[in-house]
Amino acid sequence: MAIPETGYFEYEQGRYGPIYPRTPANYGFSIIAKVKPGHEAAIREHGQVIQAALEQDPTVLAPLRLHYLRWVLFDIGDGLTFQYQGIFDTDFDKYLDDALDLFLSTGITTAFVNLVGFPDDWRTNRAAAIEFFRKHQFPSFLEYGEYPYVTADEVKKALRLKAAFSNMLDEMQ
């Protein structure tokens, strides 16, 4: 699906700004922002934080209804840039609501506070945090889904069905 530069086909007001459309790959974003000088190590440490949180509680990210998240650091010559790309099943505004609540309740916070422009008072100023995400979201101009519009829950349900059928066939031997 080819997507206009605006990120939407027709302006439709969401709770915090324009609603981005569901694409064949479902909802998602690409947050790109500059890293504060000297903060690369702190951002890389974030990888350990997330991994540890998931090892402790594999469901910690479940509220976000994710397909996947991808964190990237790269330098194109004028300083380090951070990219945070995700595919999920809720709309953009609900994702931001859920993510902020998750960050606040789990302490998974460090990546964004190392980015230029992320509000210092993000814990108490939800509007400013959401404005940061919207300002640094770069819409795709093209998205493709090999299994279009299928949610993560449907994928998981299909795998459970496959396992159940497999088990049933075993029992029939």
- 127 counts as binding another protein under rule CB under 8 A: yes
C-beta of 48 vs 125, nearer to another protein: 125
Among 14, 40, 66, 145, binds another protein (CB under 8 A): 14
- 7 counts as binding another protein under rule CB under 8 A: no
- 153 counts as binding another protein under rule CB under 8 A: yes
Place of tokens 């460090």: 110
Alpha-carbon distance 173 to 63, whole Å?
40
For 158, the token pair is 């299909």
- 15 counts as binding another protein under rule CB under 8 A: yes
Question: Which are the contacts of 58, defined by CB distance < 8 A and separation ≥ 6?
Answer: none
State the nearest-atom distance from the C-beta of 80 to another protein, in Å: 31
Question: Which are the contacts of 55, defined by CB distance < 8 A and separation ≥ 6?
Answer: none
Give the start-end residues of each E strand in 8-165: 27-34, 66-75, 80-88
- 155 counts as binding another protein under rule CB under 8 A: no
Among 5, 13, 38, 55, binds another protein (CB under 8 A): 13
Interface with another protein by CB under 8 A: which range of 29-37, 47-55, 93-101, 107-115?
Answer: 93-101
State the nearest-atom distance from the C-beta of 13 to another protein, in Å: 5
- 6 counts as binding another protein under rule CB under 8 A: no
Give the start-end residues of each E strand in 130-170: none
**Phi then psi dihedrals of residue 95, to 5 deg:** -60, -45
Among 93, 115, 134, 137, binds another protein (CB under 8 A): 93
Alpha-carbon distance 128 to 122, whole Å?
7
How far apart are the two ends of the chain, measured CA to CA in Å?
A: 46
Instruction: Report the interface residues with another protein, using CB under 8 A.
Output: 12-16, 63, 89-91, 93-94, 97-98, 101, 104, 121, 123-127, 151, 153-154
